[in-house]
A and B are shown apart, each in its own frame.
Chain A
Amino acid sequence: MSATTDANGRSTTNDQEMVPVLQFAGGLPGFADLKEFSLVRWGGDNSPLSLLRSIEQPETEFVVAPPAAFFPDYTPEIDDATAERLNLQDSDDALMLVILTVDKEPADATANLMGPIVVNRHTLDAAQVVLTGSDYEVRTPLATAS
């Protein structure tokens, strides 16, 4: 992909505009060395899905979505330690994403509600957090949602 600079000084590649790059200072469990991930919308205008793709290792990517797309009642609190680590001043600063596991059958897809990803909208600092004392599962079927 060749890079060019547009009139506003933003670098663009020849087939896509500048994408947000999330910074996972601590990596992800299972992927300690992967600190930077691009977030690319996927599936067209009506799709809530995005691909979180490692910059360091592009073959590693996750399907993510805002939990509200599948689990409207899922509104976990972000704990103080996470808010501090990600410099979140208030809840509007945070974007939450859940990682989906998509195997062979789309109907069997699951979401990790126990370990959502929290992103600071402004700085793009991100971390996978765990909801303390929750009953959420790492593999919650989408099929039972809404």
Chain B
Amino acid sequence: MLVLTRRASQSIMIGHDVVVTVLEVRGDQIRLGIRAPRDIDVHREEVFRQLQQANRLAASPNLEALEKLGSMVPPDEQQRAPGNDPARRE
């Protein structure tokens, strides 16, 4: 791990395009501002781990159970679709 020491308003560059700025230091909390290109998502680490695990668990949906779920759901309000009309699965 690379260790750097910064004061408030100082920054760190990660690669060519990611800038991390120490905005404020208050007690044991540090406010960081992050500027990153669109193809890099920035998350608090523990949250990222949670999302990672949750996504991995969700990525193999049990389609049989899903069938039952689909019929359990009451008709909802009109769902607006992004872009063109979404396809309908037969």
Chain B interface residue bracket vs A? 35 or more
Interface size on A, residues (CB 8 A): 62
0/1 interface trace, chain B 36-65, chain A, CB 8 Å (1 if under) = 001111011001101111111111011001
Prevailing SS type, chain B contact patch: loop
Q: Which residues of B contact A (CB under 8 A)?
A: 38-41, 43-44, 47-48, 50-59, 61-62, 65-77, 79-90
Prevailing SS type, chain A contact patch: loop
Q: Which residues of A contact B (CB under 8 A)?
A: 10, 15-20, 22, 25-31, 39-44, 46-51, 60-63, 66, 68-70, 85, 95, 99-107, 109, 112, 114-115, 119-122, 124-125, 127-128, 130, 138-139, 142
Which residues of B have CB within 8 Å of A39?
A: 81-82, 86
Instruction: Kindly identify which residue among A95, A104, A142 contacts B82, using a CB–CB cutoff of 8 Å.
Output: A95
State the CA gap A48–B74 with chains docked (Å): 9
